[in-house]
Structure 1
Amino acid sequence: MTPAELADAVLSAVRHAVEAGDLAVEVPATVTVERPRQKEHGDYATNVALQLAKQAGRPPREVAELVAARLRSAAGVEAVEVAGPGFLNVRLERAAAGETARTVVRAGAAYGRNGSEAGQRVNLEFVSANPTGPLHLGHVRWAAVGDCLGRIMSASGAEVTREFYINDAGSQMDKFGASIRARALGEQPPEDGYQGAYVADLAALVLEQEPGILELPADEQVPAFREAGYRVQLALQQQTLRSFRTEFDVWFSERTLHAEGGVEKAVATLREQGHVYDSEGAVWLRTTDFGDDKDRVLVRSDGSPTYFAADCAYYLSKRGRGFETCIIMLGADHHGYVNRLKAIAACAGDDPARFEMLIGQFVKVVQGGEDLKLSKRAGTVVTLEDVVDLAGVDAVRYALARSSTDSTMVLDIDLLTKRANENPVFYVQYAHARISGVLRNAAELGVERGSVDDFDPALLAHEREGDLLGVLAEFPAVVATAAELREVHRVARYLETLAGTYHRFYDACRVLPMGDEAPTDLTRARLWLCEATRIVLANGLGLLGVDAPERM
């Protein structure tokens, strides 16, 4: 029995008490069922009586007794006790607890998927960068976390579109073109241009692809190098992200907002909403009506649109494409953007809560106890490729996913490349490889777990088996909570708990027969439990974009 199934049984008990006239309340849509911290309190606990007591006009313990009396007759429930101010502590029959293994194996790759975010159309924007250089350390965190969040929200039923906003408008693009041209001519880039060694590499690629570019008139060369360099660098960014297992559904060009009149349309739309006004020759958006510290200029007095105007147009583009929820992942230096961006939604007549900003704190990389600050290729920053070359995709993705984004973090290259239990990704992957090894050994011995009908869940009665079954049952709820709270680290930390629980089970419960021993029904039951654990580890690692190796 999973927590969701027990929650349904609790709701059914409440409903029966109401229908019998013993309890005068509205049956809630959901109830909380969770594993208690102390094992002596049972397998699960619920606070439903505390939740209903005020509405019922009765002491919580009285409500708890009414619900407990009916819950005790539910299939799979062994005992229900009323504890403390009105908690219900529930103990499951061993067969009911063991059924989790069968549930997991039957579901396979689908186990953990849930409908908590069903019906939501979500635009998830992350990594967004200028196409003027390699992706650097500032992009690394969101490349991993954003992709993981997309996977987790999709697994929870949301329709997620992953979007990369290409910052390809503005004067930096002309500086980029001038820098590439200078390198192509064997000259130094302008002082305010791009200095990294990668610019010379781009120049060589551009000359290879367009050998006649230097024969163009002088005033056409910078725009030509700008456009050619843009195409090459964007393709390199896309290749880098793909190799990091980060995929996007949409690559949205900022330029198109200007070229297709999106900015002008946005200003007109916001004016119709009554929040645009003219002052000192400029056009303003009255964002102070919605919590911003000052109103924002949309169009300068010289007639040129601001970056904020493009932000407005981009938001309205997303809404126009049918996205109900828009999530943007921003760096730690963008805290000041939150109120002004939410004000855009409010000025457009939307609920600002539907425009979410996730702030990620800084990441630093250390190796040999010292900060890694420079890149051989980019010159001044550590690139995503640098970090992956040092530690590998699995280690970097997992390390970034397991830390809450609201805290700064350190990527210790020495730890991430260590094949030891103190390396979290190794610890979890080794659990999967260890189970795969057990299953291979079983096959070599000719021991099969048998069909669904051969599995007797009641045999999984050892304390360590109960612990493992309990953790396996929690996985769908962990995924749903991670999606709801936008906290991917919950999945990684869960996997570490699961791996540790499996290792303790394996040390206490022998799975395969030894010597001339014949396999028993308990052998087969434990193979079911092993396979269920392997599936959940693989599914969880898949949500993080990390491999689940069969050998290590």
Structure 2
Amino acid sequence: MTPVDLSTTVLHAVRRAVREDALRAPVPARVRVERTRPGGRGDYASAVALQLAGPAGLAARQVAEILRDRLAGAPGVAGVEITGPGFLNFTLDAATGAAAHRALVHRVREQGERYGYGDALAGQRPRLVHAREVRAAVTADAVRRLLAAQGADVHLACEGEPDPDWTRLGVSAEASDAQAEALVRPVPAGDTAAGLLTRLGPDAARWGLLRVAGHDRAPLGNDLLAQTEANALFRVRYAHARARAVVRGAARLGFAVAGPGADIDATGAADLLTLLDAHPAVLAGAARHRAPDRLARHLDAVAAAFFDFHDAAPPLPVGDEKPSAAHRSRTALAEAAGTVLAGGLSLLGVRAPEHL
């Protein structure tokens, strides 16, 4: 069971409790589950009972007991315990978790950089019109990519005559001649496309324009070019390049990446697996809210989790080690992480080099 599966299972329990009139509260759109902190109980925890207690007019522990009764025996859940004022703590079935990890990594590798694409917006034809300003143009283009990845047929236009330099930033739009469905007006960049391209180049310029929410000013300093851990763009692209290097290293050593039926060695990989599993929901949310910054932050988190996994359980043999099943499965996970990073960068219009 993945975190997304567990969240859905808990949400079903809430709906059942409301349907059975055991709980009188609005059903939330989603239920958040998190890895338990060191010293905590079980594998995951949720504060949903505390969230529902006020509207239900009950103590949080009472709400938690109602939900625990309806979670007993749920597939993939080995146990549910209530701690503190009403936190639900979940212990997952190990065999079910291993199967979920296998399926997740196989799904990413099978779908490639289109992992997370969907058809939730199929049939919709949104018309986006953006201000005649470089940040608005780049943001609208990224939103177009995200909406298209969810099946929408998007038309993009500019309030005025498009700047020819925008094409060097990957933006293609025509002058608007009709009423917009949605106006894209983030805080202006304070620079022109030509100026940003001269200072930063297309990739760093796009990342800088997209990495923060549209209502915040976008920092566009030369630190976007720094090849250091302090630069989020470098972290994400370096994680992708390192993941690709792992796959090339496996090929040089002559061992195959684990196939679809092989177990995944999850040593040090809990956060990475959680983030890979959440990727489709992140893409859908970024499209729905027309917020490419959500995807940028997610990619940064995936990169950090990849490095933690890589350091805790090196995918390639070290020293005199012989390639093992664990190495093959870790290489498959590294490949999946690189695929998600490359696909996410592509949706932001940023290149993902194989080498840095």
* DSSP 3-state at the match of 1:101: helix
Q: C-alpha distance in 2, partners of 1:3/1:466?
A: 10
The equivalent residue for 1:62 is 62
Q: Any idea what the Cα deviations from partners look like across 1:456-484, whole Å, max 9, x if unmatched?
A: 13x31x2x211211222222232233233
Match among 417, 429, 435 for residue 225 of structure 2: 417
Deviation at residue 118 of structure 1 after TM alignment: 5.6
Deviations 1:387-430 (Å, cap 9, x if unpaired)? 213221111101111122222233113x2332222222122111
- Provide the C-alpha distance between the structure 2 equivalents of 1:68 and 1:15, rounded to a whole number of angstroms: 13
Quote the Cα distance in structure 2 between the aligned partners of 1:421 and 1:513: 25
1:328 to 180, 183, 188: 183
Query: Structure 1 residues 46, 115: CA separation in 2 closer, same or farther (over 3 Å shift)?
Result: farther
1:161 is matched with which residue?
A: 155
Structure 1 residue 516, shift from structure 2 partner: 5.0
Counterpart for residue 167 of structure 2: 242
Higher mean C-alpha deviation, range 426-435 or range 30-39: 30-39
2:189 aligned partner: 363
Q: Distance in 2 between matches of 1:511 and 1:84?
A: 39
Change (3 A) 1:53 1:417: closer
Aligned to 1:101: 105
* 1:252 paired residue number: 176
Give the conservation status (yes or no) of the 8 Å contact 1:76–1:96. no
Distance 1:68 1:38 in 2: 21
Contact 1:77–1:96 (CA under 8 A) maintained in structure 2: no
- The CA deviation at 1:449 is 1.6
Unmatched tracts of structure 2, length 5 or more: none
SS at match of 1:511: coil
- In structure 2, the partner of 1:208 is none
Distance 1:86 1:159 in 2: 45
Contact persistence 2:10–2:31 (CA under 8 A): no
Describe the shift of the 1:77–1:43 C-alpha distance in structure 2 as closer, same or farther (beyond 3 A).
same
Q: Would you tell me which structure has more strand in proportion to its own residues?
A: 1
Asked if 2 retains the 8 angstrom alpha-carbon contact of 1:401 and 1:492, the reply is: yes
**Distance in 2 separating the partners of 1:127 and 1:17:** 48
Q: TM-score, normalised by structure 1?
A: 0.57
**Residue pair 2:124, 2:152 contacting (<8 A) in 1 also:** yes
Correspondence for 1:75: 75
Does structure 2 retain, via aligned residues, the 8 Å contact 1:31–1:46?
Answer: no
Displacement of 1:362: 3.8
Give distance in 1, aligned partners of 2:47 and 2:32. Answer: 8
CA distance in 1, matches of 2:90, 2:280: 20
The 1:400/1:24 distance shift into structure 2, 3 A limit, reads: closer
Letter in structure 2 aligned against 1:252: S
Decide whether the 8 Å contact of 1:7 with 1:30 is kept in 2.
no
Which residue of the partner structure matches residue 33 of structure 2? 34
The structure 1 residue matched to 2:128, chosen from 116, 124, 128, is: 124
Asked if 1:148 is matched to 2:153, the reply is no
Q: Which amino acid aligns with 1:404?
A: A
The 3 A distance-change label for structure 1 pair 90 and 383 is: same
How many pairs does the alignment contain? 351
For residues 443 and 127 of structure 1, the distance between their equivalents in structure 2, rounded to whole angstroms, comes to 49
> Residues 11 and 31 of structure 2 are in contact (CA less than 8 Å); yes or no, is this contact kept in structure 1?
no
Quickly say closer, same or farther: Cα 1:509–1:450, change in 2 above 3 A.
closer
1:529 to 329, 333, 340: 333
Q: Distance in 2 between matches of 1:538 and 1:245?
A: 17
TM alignment of 1:418-497, pairs within 5 A: 418-453=226-261, 455-457=262-264, 459-460=265-266, 462=267, 464-497=268-301
- Whether 1:113 and 2:112 are equivalent positions in the alignment is no
Distance 1:127 1:41, change over 3 A: farther
Look up the SS of the partner of 1:409 in the other structure. Answer: coil
Q: Is the 8 A contact 2:124 2:153 kept in 1?
A: yes
Could you tell me how far 1:544 is from its partner in structure 2? 0.7
Q: Conserved in 2, the CA contact under 8 Å of 1:14 and 1:67?
A: yes
Change (3 A) 1:548 1:153: same
1:519 aligns with 2:326: no
- 2:125 touches 2:153 (CA, 8 Å); kept in 1? yes
User: Could you say if the C-alpha distance between residues 474 and 121 of structure 1 is closer, same or farther in structure 2, counting changes exceeding 3 Å?
Assistant: same
SS at match of 1:363: coil
* Corresponding position: 1:396 with 2:202: no
Looking at structure 1, the residues matched to 282 and 57 of structure 2 have their Cα atoms a distance apart, in angstroms, of 34
**Alpha-carbon separation, structure 2, partners of 1:498 and 1:60:** 33
Q: Distance in 2 between matches of 1:512 and 1:449?
A: 11
Equivalent residue for 1:191?
none
1:515, CA displacement in angstroms?
4.9
Aligned equivalent of 1:501, options 305, 309, 331:
305
User: Residue 536 of structure 1: CA displacement?
Assistant: 1.1
CA distance in 2, matches of 1:37, 1:399: 33
Which string of whole-angstrom CA distances, capped at 9 and with x for unpartnered residues, describes residues 304-345 of structure 1?
xxxxxxxxxx43xx5xxxxxxx21123xxxxxxxxxxxxxxx
1:123, distance to aligned residue in structure 2 (A):
1.4
Give the alignment's Cα RMSD to 1 decimal.
3.0
- Matched ranges for 1:347-362 at <5 A: 360-362=186-188
Distance 1:86 1:117 in 2: 37
- Separation in 1 of the partners of 2:42 and 2:204? 37
Unaligned segments of structure 1, at least 5 residues: 129-138, 168-233, 254-313, 319-325, 331-359, 365-381
The structure with the largest alpha-carbon Rg is: 1
Cα pair 1:148 1:545 within 8 Å, conserved: yes
- After the TM superposition, which residues 246-325 of structure 1 pair with which residues of structure 2 at under 5 Å, given as runs? 246-248=171-173, 250-253=174-177, 314-315=178-179, 318=180
Amino acid at match of 1:102: H
Mapped to 1, the partners of 2:43 and 2:108 lie a distance apart of: 18
